[in-house]
């Protein structure tokens, strides 16, 4: 698949995002800083992912005169982190759209088979009317993202965007093929997966590094 030709795939090339991803990759970066940078990257990527928010003109009095000026008219959004690691990106997006509701999808990958298992799904009401931003820092085989979005669609979700900080080509291809209607925002496209389905060069286990577990 030629990712550059897919109009629903957005691979970030902004120097601020790349600089922060380099800090995440560094194994010397400790938990508190790692967590803060994940949130900052989510905010920067969210700025791009929310570019198509609908606006409508509002009348406003400046100190000089009355004018028409745009304000966000689209009120219904949901941010849906894939647990656990997606939680690290949630505040960054919410800083841009604080009135968004929050859903949660719990998935874990079997360490042997790498097959994802869903253990939790709770979404805000009127999910079919919302723009839904699904967040997870890592898109490796793509299994977790594909299954999480399947669950969201089963519950009525329609307008879905997916944001990850690092993707492997294998996962990006799978997600784009199985959910061609979903806009996918990627901080950096890495080289490949290793035999344990970890991303290379990657940043290791995102959940463990965000929460300080092993
Ligand atoms: C990680 C990551 C993704 C998933 C990606 O979660 O946060 O959810 O793996 O892998 P995939 O694309 O091959 O499905 P993990 O299952 O390790 O759970 P955690 O967030 O609880 O650490
Ligand atoms: N999950 C992670 O946290 N890191 C990877 O490289 C792959 C899956």
Question: Is 205 one of the catalytic residues?
Answer: yes
The rounded distance, in Å, linking the Cα atoms of 153 and 147 is 10
Give, in words, the CATH class of 10-55+72-211: alpha beta
- Closest residue (by CA) to atom 7 of ligand 2? 198
26 is catalytic: no
pTM for the model: 0.96
For the stretch 111-161, pLDDT in tens is 899 999 999 999 999 999 999 999 999 999 999 999 999 999 999 999 999
**Is 109 marked active-site?**
yes
Mutate to test the pocket of ligand 1, among 34, 81, 116 (most ligand atoms within 8 A of CB): 116
pLDDT at 1 over 90: no
DSSP code string of the chain: --GGG-TTEEE---HHHHHHHHHHH-TT--HHHHHHHHHHHHHHHHHHHTTT--EEEEEEE-SS-EEEEEEE----EEEEEEETTTHHHHHHHHTTSTT-EE-EEEEEE-TTT--EEEEEEE--SSGGGSEEEEE-SEESSSHHHHHHHHHHHHTT--EEEEEEEEE-HHHHHHHHHH-TTSEEEEEEE-SEE-TTS-EESS-S-HHHHHHT--
Handedness of CA 125, 130, 135, 140 (dihedral sign): positive
pLDDT tens track for 66-100: 999 999 998 899 999 999 999 999 999 999 999 99
Cα–Cα distance between 180 and 166 in angstroms, integer?
A: 19
């Amino acid at each position: 698949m030629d990712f550059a030709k897919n109009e629903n795939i957005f691979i970030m090339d902004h120097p601020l995002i790349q600089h922060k991803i380099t800090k995440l990759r560094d194994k010397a970066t400790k938990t508190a800083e790692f967590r803060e940078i994940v949130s900052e990257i989510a905010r920067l990527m969210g700025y791009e992912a929310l570019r198509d928010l609908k606006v409508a003109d509002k009348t406003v009095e400046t100190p000089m005169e009355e004018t028409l000026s745009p304000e966000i008219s689209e009120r219904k959004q949901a941010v849906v982190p894939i647990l656990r690691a997606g939680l690290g990106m949630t505040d960054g997006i919410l800083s841009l759209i604080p009135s968004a509701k929050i859903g949660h999808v719990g998935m874990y990958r079997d360490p042997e088979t790498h097959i994802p298992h869903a253990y939790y799904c709770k979404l805000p009401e009127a999910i079919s009317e919302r723009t839904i931003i699904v967040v997870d820092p890592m898109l490796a085989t793509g299994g977790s993202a594909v299954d999480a979005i399947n669950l969201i669609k089963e519950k009525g979700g329609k307008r879905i965007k997916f944001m990850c900080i690092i993707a492997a080509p294998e996962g990006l291809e799978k997600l784009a093929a199985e959910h061609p209607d979903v806009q996918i925002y990627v901080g950096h496209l890495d080289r490949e997966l290793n035999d344990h389905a970890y991303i290379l060069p990657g940043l290791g286990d995102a959940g463990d590094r965000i929460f300080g577990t092993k």
